[in-house]
């Protein structure tokens, strides 16, 4: 068992979207801890938000399980290059796809480029997310509300739709929801609303795609130590982040990645329409 850090954490704040290498303590994305066993051999995966945090941990785990990985991200090029380094260290291929998925054309573009490079998509992980913290309803700018929905749920719909012609029976879609879909934090109103939408979207899409043999599931993380936290929360919230969980600490990205591996693998061939919490003991019912 890894002895992961517990709060209180030191004061720190970054500009959105945040840089993983500037965080302290550094998140564990499995760079030196995840060991694969060929569970995704010869598969092709597209992971959004794959430059850092949960996305990086998933991308590294997928590669160590034998998959080639396309990594879509906004503009955190240094973080993305590090993710690519760890993927390529495994002998697998990595395709980096920078750009803003809030734009409709970009959603189509990342799918097209993945299919052009690898010929198909076996696993689609919709993980990219945006959030901001506000203490009152009046403080939320209209354009920020729209951007949160555009990135967190509308892009998910567009990417899934674009990917259909490149996915065959046996393929898997995994969407990142959140414990906020069940226990919405009021200061994350827009984010929590999109995470509820993702849980619902996933459950409906699983039924819609069942006759094609494409499985759809979601993962609902609790507090996970990623750049999203230090770039969108207050210093007080950052210092105590994860303290309210039964385990008394935030999770690390490397602790979330294994459930994505399972859902992406053929071992999960009869699992669809399900939701998996990785919450440090906080229940999702």
Half-sphere exposure of 7 (CA within 13 A, CB side): 22
CB 25 within 8 A of CB 9: yes
All structural domains of the chain: 20-278 (3.40.50.720)
CB 53 within 8 A of CB 82: no
**Does the pLDDT at position 86 exceed 90?**
yes
**Which letter does DSSP use for residue 145 in this model?**
H
Question: How many Cβ atoms are within 10 Å of 20's Cβ, its own excluded?
Answer: 23
CB 224 within 8 A of CB 251: yes
Phi-psi region of 46 (alpha: psi -120 to 50; beta: other; left: phi over 0): beta
Q: What is the mean pLDDT of residues 146-165?
A: 98
Nearest-5° Cα angle at 155, 152 to 159: 130
Token pair 């052009």 is at which residue? Answer: 116
**Which letter does DSSP use for residue 50 in this model?**
T
Q: What's the pLDDT tens digit per position in 193-232? A: 999 999 999 999 999 999 999 999 999 999 999 999 999 9
CB 259 within 8 A of CB 219: yes
* Nearest one of 182, 55, 69 to 126, comparing CA atoms: 55
Instruction: Give the residue ranges of DSSP H helices in 41-141.
Output: 53-64, 77-89, 104-118
Q: Where is pLDDT greater, at 46 or 183?
A: 46
Q: What's the pTM value of the predicted model, to 2 decimals?
A: 0.96
Q: Would you state the pLDDT for residue 285?
A: 73
In whole angstroms, give the CA distance from residue 215 to residue 106. 24
CB 175 within 8 A of CB 259: no
Active site residues: 191
In whole angstroms, give the CA distance from residue 272 to residue 200. 13
Could you tell me the two tokens for 164?
């259909």
In whole angstroms, give the CA distance from residue 262 to residue 248. 26
Question: What is the pLDDT confidence band of residue 284, given thresholds at 50, 70 and 90?
Answer: confident
**Does the pLDDT at position 173 exceed 70?**
yes
Q: Would you state the pLDDT for residue 1?
A: 55
**Which letter does DSSP use for residue 26 in this model?**
P
In whole angstroms, give the CA distance from residue 248 to residue 268. 31
């Amino acid at each position: 068992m890894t002895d992961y850090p517990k709060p209180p954490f030191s004061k720190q704040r970054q500009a959105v979207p945040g840089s993983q290498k500037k965080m302290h303590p550094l998140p564990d994305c499995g760079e030196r801890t995840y060991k694969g066993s060929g569970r995704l051999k010869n598969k092709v995966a597209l992971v959004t938000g794959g430059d850092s945090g949960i996305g990086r941990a998933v991308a590294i785990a997928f590669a160590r399980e034998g998959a080639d990985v396309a990594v879509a991200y906004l503009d955190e090029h240094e973080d993305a290059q590090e993710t690519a380094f760890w993927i390529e260290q495994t002998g697998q291929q990595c395709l980096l796809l920078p750009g803003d998925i809030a734009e409709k054309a970009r959603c189509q573009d990342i799918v097209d480029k993945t299919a052009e490079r690898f010929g198909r998509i076996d696993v689609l992980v919709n993980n990219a997310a945006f959030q901001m913290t506000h203490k009152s309803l009046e403080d939320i700018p209209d354009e920020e509300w729209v951007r949160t929905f555009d990135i967190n749920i509308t892009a998910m719909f567009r990417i899934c739709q674009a990917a259909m012609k490149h996915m065959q029976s046996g393929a898997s879609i995994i969407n990142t929801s959140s414990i906020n879909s069940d226990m919405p934090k009021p200061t994350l109103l827009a984010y929590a609303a999109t995470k509820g939408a993702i849980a619902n979207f996933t459950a409906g899409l699983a039924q819609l795609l069942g006759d094609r043999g494409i499985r759809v599931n979601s993962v609902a993380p609790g507090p996970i130590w990623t750049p999203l936290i230090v770039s969108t929360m207050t210093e007080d919230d950052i210092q105590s982040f994860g303290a309210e969980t039964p385990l008394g600490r935030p999770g690390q990205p490397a602790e979330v990645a294994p459930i994505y591996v399972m859902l992406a693998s053929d071992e999960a061939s009869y699992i669809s329409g399900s939701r998996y919490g990785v919450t440090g003991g906080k229940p999702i019912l």
